[in-house]
Amino acid sequence: MRKLLNTIYVTNEQSYLTLDGENLVCKIDGEIKLRIPFDNIENIVCFNYIGCSPALMGKCVSKLIPINFISPQGKFLAKVCGETKGNVFLRVAQVDKFRECGLALTQNTMAAKFSNTRQVIRRTLHDNPPLREDADLKNTIEVLSAGIDKVFAAGSVEEIIGIEGNCAQSYFSVFDKLITNPKVPFSFELRTKRPPLDPINALMSFVYTLATAEYAAALETVGLDSYIGFCHTLRSGRSSLACDLVEEARCIVERFVISMLNLQIVGEKDFEKQISGAVWLNDEGRKKVLTKWQEKKRTDMIHPYLKQKIPAGLLPYVQSNLLAKYVRGELESYPPYLQK
């Protein structure tokens, strides 16, 4: 099993990353603040403006350590990575398999997403008995259950995307009820993305960006092209396949966001509102979220398909590896992540 190494998050906007032998060095105003060996690093996520030295980027490319550049507000900007591990035949097989079986892959992925979303609601109902008779929550569970049946009856990916839109609308209409701590100073009305218009959307978008970057890195590690997907349309610069696989794991992001709010780990002072109306996590808020996200990644989980205990942070790698096995013909079907 692959070892879970460190993801380095560079949150200080004035940080500069450089190379010193076999070590990554982080400097602020010319002063060294961090030195870490490359053997302990698997991914680098930069929220800084100054960037990295060319020598460091070359070293990371040679060691297949991706460097993700994300704006301080959480918007993905660019990625530096080495050549895809594996051979060209796997990537050709990926294109062929997705063209041939794209509908079946989309059906399985979206059915898993709806099932996992339903579990997020049921988890809240389990922990909060007074909500068990809530008519809106019951209706959303029914919509998600019906959505699972509808995607398997769908005849095209476009039809499934329409079903997904209806399910998402129903789910986000009740999302505010999943935030059960009355002391939380925020409310959620609807999903807004570009830009997020309230703190909950800002928090959700930020963690989605982290998860997508981790799936993109995992796909490159196993030799798949993260830019060629089966569900999300191809778009220059977008990791469409990473976006596809993240659909199964949105439940983890959403449960994480709900916990951060209900436990009051983040509050009003962790966000800032722009003149445009956009709301972003500030520097202190990002640090809190990244710290808890790293802790979350190191917790153990039982993988539903492998029936093995793994660190939660290895889920992107495990799912990417299972998809690669499917593309190579070693599995009859791709087993999406199903939360129990």
| pLDDT per position as a tens digit, 142-170 | 999 999 999 999 989 999 999 999 999 99
Q: Are 105 and 238 in contact (CB under 8 A)?
A: no
CA distances from 108 to 58, 133, 267 (A): 39, 30, 37
Radius of gyration (C-alpha) of the chain in whole angstroms: 20
**C-alpha–C-alpha distance, residues 135 and 121, integer Å:** 13
Show the domains of the chain with their CATH numbers. 6-80 (3.100.10.20), 89-327 (1.20.120.920)
Q: What is the pTM of this model?
A: 0.82
| pLDDT of amino acid 4 | 55
CA atoms within 13 A on the CB side of 231: 23
| pLDDT of amino acid 84 | 56
| pLDDT per position as a tens digit, 281-334 | 898 998 999 899 989 988 888 888 888 888 888 898 889 989 998 998 889 999
Amino acid at 292: K
Q: Give the distance from CA 220 to its chain's centroid.
A: 15
